[in-house]
């Protein structure tokens, strides 16, 4: 009987756990753990243990993590509960979280010192993709270890890509997220200008969500901006770590990234104005204030 485990049952982790359980083989048991007992409701089922007790992870052969940031990942594995040492010898830790490239490298080395293996495997696709099991999974690790966990990852994603050695998954996720952030920052800057120049917000929205400038960012955020809804996506304050990670890589290697730096300034302005608990669409709010307009449906 193979023992699998997942730690972190938030907006992404909970649907991922459900998909892992729904496609569980008869020869597997799955432990779903979260420090918040409220997140465990409704998860119990055949071959599935929902728990807040770290001891339930003892002897797990594969541990998937879906946690907020690298510091939390590091604390979970090597802090007071010492989860890394609870796992079976030779066990594989698959980190689905989004953390810094440098942190992934450090965690991989620390796990190797305990005789465990590591795959950094951040995901893209938002909670809707996690629910549908259609995530894109970007894996960093040696080929043998990635191949060993690929069948598990194919339960939660339709694109499972081996990007290279440990750290490569997080590096790819940083690139993806920074491009996404740049797109949203551009929308935040340009849409208020369009309204200030007298264009109708609804018609502009139709163009930027169907024309050549359309993107996932515009199709997701623009309709929500029109309705003044800024609480449906990942909080800006938590997502800021992606731009910090990109800046660290650029500084270390001397990469000029002027467009990323400009987008970061837009992001920082929104954070300084107290919008960190709102989603990235709230980057539009400082520009609305500056130009004295609202990008809202109905003008």
Three-state DSSP class for residue 3: strand
Please report which confidence band the pLDDT of residue 211 belongs to, taking 50, 70 and 90 as the band edges. Answer: very high
My answer on whether 185 and 282 are in the same domain is yes
Which value, to the nearest 10 degrees, does the dihedral of the CA atoms of residues 76, 122, 34, 244 take?
A: 60
**CA dihedral of residues 161, 165, 169, 175 (deg, nearest 10):** -110
Distance CA 170, CA 157 (A): 17
Same domain, 144 and 182: no
The token pair at 165 is: 């050695």
Whether 87 contacts 93, CB under 8 Å: yes
Is 22 inside a domain boundary?
yes
> C-alpha 16: how far from its chain's center?
12
Domain boundary among 131, 164, 197: 164
Mean pLDDT across the stretch 7-13?
93
Q: How far lies 84's CA from each of 65, 67, 107, in Å?
A: 12, 15, 10
pLDDT band at 299 (very low <50, low <70, confident <90, very high): low
The reply to whether 296 falls in a domain is no
- Do 188 and 160 share a domain, yes or no? no
Q: What are phi and psi of 51, to 5 degrees?
A: -150, 160
Task: Give the domain CATH number at 131.
Answer: 3.40.50.720
Answer yes or no: are the C-beta atoms of 12 and 62 closer than 8 Å: no
Range of the domain at 10: 2-164
Q: Would 255 be classed as within a structural domain?
A: yes
- Classify strands 157-164 and 123-124 as parallel, antiparallel or unpaired: unpaired
**Residue 297 domain-assigned (yes or no):** no
- Asked if 218 contacts 187 with a C-beta cutoff of 8 angstroms, the reply is yes
23 part of the active site: no
User: Do 180 and 158 reside in the same domain of the chain?
Assistant: no
d(C-alpha 274, C-alpha 297), whole Å: 24
The residue assigned the tokens 């440098």 is 102
Catalytic residue among 3, 103, 173, 280: 173
Do residues 78 and 175 share a domain? no
Rounded average pLDDT over 49-60: 92
Give yes or no: residues 139 and 180 share one domain. no
pLDDT tens column, 276-298: 999 999 999 999 999 999 999 98
pLDDT digits (tens, 9 = 90+) for 110-137: 999 999 999 999 999 989 999 999 999 9
The bridge status of strand 157-164 relative to strand 135-140 is parallel
Same domain, 127 and 8: yes
| Start-end of H helices in 211-240 | 216-226, 236-239
CATH of the domain at 224: 1.10.1040.10
What end-to-end distance do the CA atoms of the chain give, in Å? 61
- Whether 145 and 39 share a structural domain: yes
Q: Quote the CA–CA distance of 245 and 253 in Å, as a whole number.
A: 12
Query: Of 101, 133, 164, which marks where a domain is finished?
Result: 164
For residue 241, tell me if it sits in a domain: yes
Q: CA separation (Å) from 271 to 148, 218, 284?
A: 41, 20, 12
Residue 32 shares a structural domain with residue 150: yes
* 298 within a domain of the structure (yes/no): no
Q: What is the pLDDT of residues 192-208, one digit of tens each?
A: 999 999 999 999 999 99
218, 208 contact by CB (below 8 A): yes
Q: Looking at the structure, tell me whether residues 231 and 89 fall in a common domain.
A: no
Q: Judging by beta carbons within 10 Å of its beta carbon (0-12, 13-18, 19+), is residue 160 exposed, middle or buried? A: buried
With respect to residue 82, please indicate whether it lies within any of the assigned structural domains: yes
Beta bridge partners of 63: 5, 93
Q: Which residues pair with 170 in a beta bridge?
A: none
* pLDDT of residue 271 exceeding 90: yes
Boundary of a domain, candidates 111, 131, 164? 164
Higher pLDDT, 70 or 25: 70
The answer to whether the beta carbons of residues 243 and 216 sit under 8 Å apart is: no
Q: Residues 233-255: pLDDT tens digits?
A: 889 998 899 999 999 999 999 99
* Global confidence as pTM: 0.89
Q: Are residues 204 and 118 in the same domain?
A: no
Decide if 299 is inside a domain. no
- Same domain, yes or no: 21 and 79: yes
How many domains, the chain? 2
């Amino acid at each position: 009987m193979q023992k699998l485990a997942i730690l972190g049952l938030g907006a992404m982790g909970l649907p991922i756990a459900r998909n892992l359980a729904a496609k569980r083989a008869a020869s597997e048991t799955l432990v779903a753990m979260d420090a918040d007992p409220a997140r465990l409701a409704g998860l119990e089922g055949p071959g599935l243990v929902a728990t807040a007790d770290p001891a339930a992870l003892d002897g797990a052969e594969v541990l998937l993590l879906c946690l907020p940031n690298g510091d939390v990942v590091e604390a979970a594995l090597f802090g007071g509960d010492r989860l890394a040492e609870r796992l079976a010898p030779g066990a594989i830790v698959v980190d689905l979280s989004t953390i810094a490239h440098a942190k992934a490298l450090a965690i991989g080395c620390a796990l190797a010192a305990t005789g465990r293996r590591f795959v950094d495997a951040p995901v893209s696709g938002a909670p809707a993709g996690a629910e549908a099991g259609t995530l894109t999974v970007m894996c960093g690790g040696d080929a043998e270890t990635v191949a060993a966990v690929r069948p598990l990852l194919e339960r939660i994603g339709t694109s499972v890509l081996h990007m290279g050695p440990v750290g490569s998954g997080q590096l790819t996720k940083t690139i993806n997220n920074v491009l996404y952030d740049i797109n949203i920052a551009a929308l935040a800057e340009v849409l208020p200008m369009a309204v200030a120049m007298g264009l109708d917000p609804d018609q502009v929205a139709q163009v930027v969500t169907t024309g050549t400038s359309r993107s996932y960012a515009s199709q997701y955020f623009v309709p929500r901006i029109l309705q003044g809804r800024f609480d449906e996506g990942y909080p800006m304050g938590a997502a800021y770590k992606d731009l910090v990670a990109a800046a660290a890589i650029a500084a270390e290697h001397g990469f000029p990234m002027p467009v990323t730096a400009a987008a970061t300034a837009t992001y920082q302005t929104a954070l300084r104005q107290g919008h960190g608990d709102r989603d990235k669409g709230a980057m539009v709010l400082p520009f609305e204030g500056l130009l004295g307009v609202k990008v809202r449906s109905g003008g």
